[in-house]
């Protein structure tokens, strides 16, 4: 899509992907305006999110630096209050009731892209761009050329009507090509900047203290498949179905389920007991809706997971997903995205294994 001199608001996290998106849009004839969202982080000395937060002084400084170099206006939009409510509180509340949240997907819909679109609209700017690796064509969302970086899963909850306003300049590029463009345009320093790994508001090392502060410690027994107590946990919210690491047990075990009444964590040594082929999805967000009641698609329930061939059956407002191959750790709250080839049909939360 050529710009034709039109204004476009570009979400700038301070990372290389959004910076290169800005470069490409300017070369395509757009008049970009850089917008950085100031997000919240958990305020605690053990929470080291320097490389992962999208709103540190360093990342905001990088965004300003890029805009200054390219002669592009730059604004900072403070959405910390909304981020706490829509993302952090969602994350904690889902864990509190035994569900497995995906805050990044929810953030794209409820906060990041929503706020960018709102900021742009208030200024008479129709289009918004981000550094996501995905493509938009014919009003639909499709996978990026670089499948290792494809981020359509992270966008599957976006309302379909937003796609006509969204521009994704990196869909045809690989990560190495993005670094090359950055270097060619005087932004070679990005090769020394670490890529985000943890959640932006809390690091992996600080996760337990964060959750203990929010939910408290609730110790209880870890039970094997015979009901024998083999250990102790400090809160069911620390675990998800299929989890193997972090159980503190002498032998490899997998989280099989939760007994909420007894506050017990149920585990198994048999991996096959945490595999499943059937589950129900609810509140599905359709980006491209098949007309048939039953159809074939590829199902994906985690970031970068390979799509599993599945039969999908509409059951009222819900979907029954029957996978050809077993999937490990199907858990309520996880987001299931469906694909027809490279086209993302949409996504919705898993209700339960069926």
Determine contact, residues 336/301, Cβ cutoff 8 Å. yes
Is 200 considered catalytic here? Answer: yes
| CA neighbor of 310 nearest in space, from 333, 272, 278, 335 | 278
Is 104 considered catalytic here? Answer: no
Helix (H) or strand (E) holding 80: helix 80-83
| CA neighbor of 218 nearest in space, from 199, 198, 201, 239 | 239
Alpha-carbon distance 264 to 221, whole Å? 5
| CA neighbor of 112 nearest in space, from 83, 140, 85 | 83
Alpha-carbon distance 211 to 235, whole Å? 9
Three-class SS of 96-140: HCCCCCCHHHHHHHHHHHHHHHHHHHHCCCCEEECCCCCEEECCE
Alpha-carbon distance 35 to 131, whole Å? 12
* Candidates 54, 55, 67, 107; catalytic one: 107
Burial 152-169 (b: 16+ CB within 10 A, else e): bbbbbbbeeebbebbbbb
Helix (H) or strand (E) holding 233: strand 229-233
Helix (H) or strand (E) holding 152: helix 152-155
* Candidates 55, 67, 104, 200; catalytic one: 200
- Which residues form the catalytic set? 107, 200
């Amino acid at each position: 899509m050529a710009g034709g001199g039109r204004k476009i608001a570009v979400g700038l996290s301070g990372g290389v992907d959004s910076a290169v998106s800005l470069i490409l849009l300017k070369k395509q004839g757009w008049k970009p305006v850089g917008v950085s969202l100031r997000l919240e982080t958990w305020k605690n000395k053990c929470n080291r999110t320097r490389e992962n937060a999208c709103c540190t002084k360093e990342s905001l400084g990088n965004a300003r630096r890029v805009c200054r170099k390219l002669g592009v206006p730059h604004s900072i939009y403070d959405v910390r209050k909304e981020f706490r409510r829509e993302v952090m509180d969602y994350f904690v509340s889902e864990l509190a009731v035994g569900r497995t949240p995906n805050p990044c997907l929810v953030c794209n819909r409820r906060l990041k892209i929503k706020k960018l679109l709102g900021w742009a609209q208030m200024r008479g700017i129709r289009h918004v761009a981000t550094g996501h690796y995905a493509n938009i064509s014919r009003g639909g969302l499709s996978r990026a050329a670089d499948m290792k970086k494809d981020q359509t899963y992270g966008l599957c909850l976006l309302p379909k009507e937003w796609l006509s306003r969204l521009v994704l300049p990196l869909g045809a590029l690989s990560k190495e090509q993005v670094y090359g463009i950055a270097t060619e345009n005087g932004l070679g320093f990005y090769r020394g900047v670490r890529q985000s790994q943890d959640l932006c508001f809390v690091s992996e090392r600080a996760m337990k203290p964060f959750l203990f502060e929010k939910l408290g410690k609730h110790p209880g027994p870890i039970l094997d498949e015979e009901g024998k107590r083999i250990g102790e946990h400090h809160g069911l919210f620390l675990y998800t179905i299929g989890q193997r690491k972090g159980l503190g047990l002498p032998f490899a075990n997998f989280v099989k389920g939760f007994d909420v009444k007894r506050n017990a964590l149920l585990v198994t040594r048999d991996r096959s007991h945490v595999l499943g082929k059937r589950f129900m999805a609810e509140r599905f967000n359709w980006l491209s809706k098949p007309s048939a009641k039953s159809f074939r698609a590829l199902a994906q329930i985690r970031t970068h997971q390979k799509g599993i061939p599945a039969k999908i059956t509409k059951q009222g407002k819900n979907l029954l997903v029957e996978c050809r191959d077993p999937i490990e750790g199907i858990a309520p709250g996880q987001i299931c995205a469906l694909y027809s080839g490279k086209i993302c049909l949409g996504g919705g939360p898993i209700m339960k294994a069926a």
